[in-house]
Amino acid sequence: MGRVVVPALRGVSFDVEEGEFLTVLGPSGSGKSTLLHLIGCLDRPDEGEILFEGRNVLILNDDELAELRLKRIGFVFQFFNLLPRLTALENVKIPLALAGISDKEADERARKLLELVGLGKRLNHRPSELSGGEQQRVAIARALINNPKLVLADEPTGNLDTKSGWEIVNLMRKLNEDIGQTFIVVTHDPQIAEAADRIIYLKDGLIEGIKSISR
């Protein structure tokens, strides 16, 4: 048996409008995460193109992609992916530090954002001292701290109980409406998917259907 190459995505094409709240719904193995990694410039596709603000991002080098991730894109993960040794505040400050923003300003901005996501009183707690929902709020604050155009969330509720899950979804929805950032949320939960403006159904690396929800 040799190595068998299984393409995760086999011809997926769609546009995302600015300010849209989009969910990608599909069972595990349908290629949702791969799709999100590609949009988020964490990975490169074998074929095809990804246009971000009208620009093909695939011609950019690793450093330029990193810069894009830093300033224009925010990531929220299923397993939060916070640095365990750092406090909530410090975790949120990482992208600011990477962008070369002074510690004083970073501190101020991170505090404000953590208050916005409802963690004003948990600034100096480490991830291990926070609940799952709280950790995910820290992660959302980290994703938003550099004012990105696009926020990508990979199963953000996958590791939370139903109540905290919904709190997170509602928070993202609220941020989308208040600040106007574009959200792409990957989920396998049809109920959560319904919170979006538009749902893309993904199966075996292909788009099965697209459903717009008018509010």
Which residues are at the interface with other proteins (CB under 8 A)?
Answer: 37, 40, 42-43, 62-63, 66-71, 75, 77, 81-83, 85, 94-95, 98-99, 142-143, 146
**Nearest-approach distance from CB 95 to other proteins, in angstroms:** 5
**Nearest-approach distance from CB 143 to other proteins, in angstroms:** 8
Nearer to other proteins, 81 or 159 (CB): 81
**Nearest-approach distance from CB 209 to other proteins, in angstroms:** 27
Nearer to other proteins, 87 or 164 (CB): 87
**Nearest-approach distance from CB 43 to other proteins, in angstroms:** 5
Nearer to other proteins, 67 or 189 (CB): 67
Nearer to other proteins, 71 or 188 (CB): 71
**Nearest-approach distance from CB 140 to other proteins, in angstroms:** 12
Nearer to other proteins, 38 or 168 (CB): 38
Nearer to other proteins, 122 or 142 (CB): 142
Sign of the dihedral through C-alpha 31, 33, 39, 41: negative
**Nearest-approach distance from CB 25 to other proteins, in angstroms:** 21
DSSP one-letter string for the chain: -------S-SS------TT-EEEEE--TTSSHHHHHHHHTTSS--SS---EETTEEGGGS-HHHHHHHHHHTEEEE-TT----TTS-HHHHHHHHHHHTT--HHHHHHHHHHHHHHTT-TT-TT--GGGS-HHHHHHHHHHHHHTT--SEEEEESTTTTS-HHHHHHHHHHHHHHHHHH--EEEEEES-HHHHTTSSEEEEEETTEEEEEEE---
Cα separation values, 167 from 15, 115, 121, 180, 198, Å: 28, 15, 18, 19, 20
